[in-house]
Amino acid sequence: MLQELENNFSELEKKILNLQKSNQNLSEKYLELNKEHTELKAKYDEERKKNQVLAEEQKNIKLYSAISGNPEHNRLMKNHINRLVKEVDFCIAQLQNSGL
């Protein structure tokens, strides 16, 4: 009976040690993955900002092209002018409402 208990205890000790090793490995892997996630998130944010800058540059190039008379971008120029006119009209309406 005592021998059987010792064997069970020994077996439990082995299982506990294996679980501790597994836990340690998983903790290390978690830290590694967390670090990688942080790095990837930073890269993603950087690329997203670059993409926004490039999109703005592309928009400006199209606008400059439309201003220079490129017929492919006439609609873009008309839309831009209409937006500017609406902004001016809005500003005038605000000035009139404020009594200036």
Cβ distance 42 to 49 under 8 Å?
Answer: no
Question: Which pLDDT score is estimated for 44?
Answer: 97
Average the pLDDT over each of 5-9, 39-43, 87-91 and give the range with the smallest value.
5-9
Instruction: Return the residue matching tokens 């800058």.
Output: 53
What DSSP designation does 68 have?
T
For residues 77-83, average pLDDT: 83
What does the alpha-carbon distance between residue 57 and residue 64 come to, in Å, rounded to a whole number? 10
- Residue 49 CA to residue 42 CA, distance in Å, equals 11
Run of H or E including 38: helix 2-67
Q: Report the pLDDT value the prediction gives residue 100, as an integer from 0 to 100.
A: 60
Please give the pLDDT value at position 15: 95
Q: Does the pLDDT value for residue 63 go beyond 90?
A: no
Nearest-CA neighbor of 60 among 82, 84, 76? 76
Give the pLDDT band (50/70/90) at residue 36: very high
